[in-house]
Amino acid sequence: MNILGNIIWLIFGGLIIAIQYFVGGLLMMITIVGIPFGLQAFKLGILALWPFSSKVTPTSRQGGCLNTLFNIIWLFLAGFWIALDHLFWGIILSITIIGIPFGRQHFKMAGLALTPFGYTITN
């Protein structure tokens, strides 16, 4: 069932979301300072490609000082707006019963978009 959900997700917008994250990640990686933030955008892009069988899990160093600092910078620069966008689409998709699984994937992405440092994506 996860494969079917992922295929439908890709056809109806997941591929576009992933491309946006990958392009944004490449643009962030132009400077050395932006490389860690670009890697987090790639992480979100990978989750946008195949969200139904993926889980967001904390790493062993989730609460480290560097992760916390980068999460704060990410939150103020982009994370808040990305999370609001996923939250909006999650609410819209959850209006119908058919859209609830897709809305849940947007809610999962909203949580990762707020603080991506210190988390990994597992299948």
* Alpha-carbon separation of residue 68 from 19, 71, 74, 86, 96 (angstroms): 27, 5, 10, 22, 37
**What CA–CA distance (Å, rounded) separates 112 from 98?**
24
The model scores a pTM over 0.75? yes
Question: pLDDT by residue for the chain (123 residues), tens digit each?
Answer: 788 988 999 898 889 999 999 999 999 999 999 999 999 999 999 999 999 989 998 887 766 788 889 999 999 998 999 999 999 999 999 999 999 999 999 999 999 999 999 899 988
Strand partners, 57: 120
Give the model confidence (pLDDT) of 77-95 as tens digits.
Answer: 989 999 999 999 999 999 9
Specify the number of domains making up the chain: 1
Give just the sign of the alpha carbon dihedral 2, 8, 10, 14.
negative
Q: Which domain holds residue 106?
A: 2-122
Backbone dihedral region of 13: left (phi > 0), alpha (psi from -120 to 50 degrees) or beta?
left
pLDDT, position 64? 77
